[in-house]
Amino acid sequence: MGLIALIAFSSTSAAQAVTLSGGSVKVVNGSSTTLDISLDNVPTGLSGYNVSVAIADPVVAQITGISFPSWVGVHQDSGADTDSVWMKGVDLARTIESGSTGIILGSLTMRGDQTGLSAVVITVTKLDDDAGGIISPTIVPGQIKVIPRVVILPGQAALPTDPASDDLYEDLNGNGRIDFNDVVLYFNHIEWIEVSEPVPYFDYNGNTRIDFDDVVDLFWGI
């Protein structure tokens, strides 16, 4: 879950910012992740909101769930299992006052359906401060990246990992680090890797194929 997209907001009285948790969110194909839609700060408080979120390329991912934080006294949403949703809520208890920061408006469960990259478009229909003033947003889209699912190599007990978070899975035995055993595994199973794993994640020399030079690059990268 982890990459954060910033969605800058400006109001009639002060600059604000909305942060879409995860920004360039990465999720394994077939798995799900959660995105928190939140305001960085509310200089004049927050009374309520109506926000829409859409996945620009619905083939890549879907929104499968919507939840609200406890401060939202009354809320409503369009329902999930789709590529575009809306959600609205009101702060009846006046919990979110002037100067509040890190305010979660809602959380979306997003499922990766196909390897690829899609923008996550946020539209604010209504965002009102504690005096009923209008907060007019300037929106920067987020994005969701769906990555292929790696599989466990023959004879191993754990999935390969990407210790450097560079989209290259050098830790073939899944022990959390790159070591000589990974080199041996690559050499012994090079033909299996070529047909069973997502090639871009094991193509260390970047020539779009699995070859013995990848073994050499893995060794020298230790």
Of 22-31, 94-103, 203-212, which has the strongest mean pLDDT? Answer: 203-212
Statement to judge: residues 101 and 190 lie in one domain: no
- Kindly state whether residues 69 and 179 are assigned to the same domain: no
pTM of the model: 0.76
Tell me, yes or no, whether 114 and 170 share the same domain. no
Average pLDDT estimate for 193-222? 96
Residue 18 and residue 97 share a domain? yes
Residue-wise pLDDT for 77-98, tens only, equals 999 999 999 999 999 999 999 9
Residues 137 and 190 in one domain: no
Q: What are phi and psi of 197, to 5 degrees?
A: -105, 160
Say which CATH number the domain at 17 has: 2.60.40.680
Last residue of a domain, one of 147, 177, 204: 147
Q: 161 with 213, same domain?
A: yes
**Bridge partners for 48 per DSSP:** 90, 128
Do 138 and 90 belong together in one domain?
yes
Domain span at 171: 150-222
164/141 Cα distance (integer angstroms): 26
> Rounded to whole angstroms, how far apart are CA atoms 45 and 132?
10
pLDDT score recorded for residue 141: 80
118, 177: one domain: no
128-159 per-position pLDDT tens digit:
999 999 877 677 788 899 998 999 999 999 99
CB-CB contact of 63 with 53 (8 Å):
yes
The average confidence (pLDDT) of the chain is 88
161 and 68 together in one domain: no
Give the DSSP per-residue string, 132-172: S-BEEE----EEEEEEPPP-PPTT-SS--B-TTSSS---BT
Beta-bridged to residue 41, according to DSSP, are 101
Place of tokens 């466990």: 152
Q: Which of these three, 147, 177, 209, is where a domain ends?
A: 147
- Among 147, 165, 186, identify where a domain stops: 147
Is 91:46 a contact under the CB 8 Å cutoff? yes
Q: How many domains does the chain have?
A: 2
Which amino acid belongs to residue 162? D
